Amino acid sequence: MAGFKPPKPEPKPGGLPFWRVLPAWLHDGLSVLSDKAYRMKMGQFRLPTRHFFMLNDPPLIRRVLVDQADNYPKSDILGFMLKRLMGDSIFTSNGALWRRQRAMLNPAFEATRVKLVFGQMQDATRAMIGRLDLVADGSPQAIDVETTHVTADIILRTIFSKTLSRDKAEQIFTAFNLFQEIAYALGMLRVFRVPTFLYVRRNREANRVAREIKGLLEPLIQERLDLIAAGKTPPERDFLAAMIEARDPESSAPFGFRELYEQVAMLFLAGHETSASALAWTLYLIACQPDVQERLHEEILRVIGPEREPELGDLRAMDFLRDVFRESLRLYPPVAFFAREPATTECMRDKTVAPGSIVFISPWMLHRNRDHWDAPDEFDADRFNTDRGIEAARCAYLPFSMGPRVCLGAAFAQQEAALILASLVRRYRFETVPGHTPKPVARLTLRSENGVMLRLRRRDAAADSSAAAE
């Protein structure tokens, strides 16, 4: 019997003229992919102004991201998209600046620090349960808005030791969705060397939204610095404390205020947005497959029971939960495309890749590569326990990238996701909304263009207690 195939944009016919491809590309990165794109090892797209290459072959991807990473810095297109919001943060910087930032930030994300903030994750998860209990009546709910709320709340608590109101959460959700839509479109125009200053209204909107988000974060940083300057004792366990304490390994200088804001903005926005996307897609996938959801529920009851709050050690014992989340990341990687620009001329599969061209690596495409994955468009959480799945996960799976620029917050994100999913699936049953199918679009992150609507219902606690006792 064929497995469950979640939504995926219909592949475009190959060989479309540029004037038909460009509008789709300005909308989102998935709109231009043909069926051939999922089968090729390396594709090439030529314009008079620039050459583009798309890699879908693990050895070539490893060459760019790992073996010759210094020769393939991040494209300045990403910096152009995000500069007005997060400046030269570690997410967009290259070279010596990036190495300095990474050395200063690495201690903040060591395993010990990630474990220390687990209590703050628990607090935000409890607050989420309190909100959802009020709407767990089977009525349609925008679950992607809620995953944005809880992940933004977690990141705010773990950076600033502050909580997030519902109004602020919705403000962030709306502002960042608008910002990434505008930034992505302007970035794509720049890719094709179309003058972006002509788009006055869109630039004004992007600047306004960036100021709005900046206005939320900068006062919180200043408040902490003022507290320290006044000789008062600030919170010791959050990430802001670690970043204030961070020192340049060569000069021993700390981050200045602007740098501190840029790194905080990167952590806050990239951290909560990618996790929110991954969680929303995971909940949609299990809502579509009641048997998977019940199997997950049984594992959670077996490990933590019906009432006890999940502890850090419990999360490591839930193997099926881990595999469900891994499969969700395979099908819907939060960052669907990475862009790199070669610093020197290289030859790949008899193609000349020269400076000024852009090399795209797509986790979305690689995770659906038919040469490495069985039934790549189907959801199968058990695939990671097969020989072929294990091999594919080793060479053709990169939801957090790989090499020197592997995601700084990967351990944090996985710990957060396991806690939230365990708490949600134990308490609620998730169901799809008839007539609603999410439409994945890849801009700065992979989101659903029309949201992710689900119904949730409280489970029978007494029945769960009986099941756990058996």
Confirm or deny that 407 is annotated as ligand binding.
yes
Q: Which residues 6+ apart lie within 8 Å of 316 measured at CB?
A: none
Token representation of residue 244: 């204030």
Is there a domain that residue 333 lies in? yes
Q: Name the residue with tokens 């134990």.
A: 426
Residue at 116 is within a domain: yes
Q: What is the pLDDT of residue 58?
A: 96
Q: How far apart are CA 330 and CA 17, in angstroms?
A: 31
Domain of residue 456 covers 18-469
Query: How far, in Å, CA of 441 to CA of 444, rounded?
Result: 10
Q: Mean pLDDT over all residues of the chain?
A: 88
Domain count within the chain: 1
pLDDT of residue 421: 98
Domain annotation covers residue 175 = yes
- What's the pLDDT at 372? 94
User: In the structure encoding, which two tokens stand for residue 272, read together?
Assistant: 């909560």
Identify the CATH number of the domain in which residue 162 sits: 1.10.630.10
The one-letter amino acid code at 158 reads T
- The tens digit of pLDDT for each residue in 291-309 reads 999 999 999 999 999 999 9
Relative to beta strand 358-361, strand 51-55 is parallel
So what's the pLDDT on residue 465? 59
Rg over alpha carbons for the chain, rounded to the nearest Å, is 22
Is the pLDDT confidence value at 463 over 70? no
Across 12-70, the runs of DSSP E, i.e. the strands, are: 42-46, 51-55
d(CA 59, CA 322): 27
> What is the separation, in whole angstroms, between the first and last Cα of the chain?
33
Residue 25 inside a domain? The answer is: yes
> CA-to-CA distance for 180 and 183, rounded, in angstroms?
5
User: For residue 21, what pLDDT is reported?
Assistant: 60
Let me know if residue 341 belongs to a domain: yes
Question: Does residue 330 carry a pLDDT above 80?
Answer: yes
Does residue 10 fall inside a structural domain?
no
Report how far residue 275's alpha carbon sits from residue 416's, in angstroms, rounded to the nearest whole number: 8
**Quick check: is 3 in a domain?**
no
Residue 346: which H helix or E strand, with range? strand 346-348
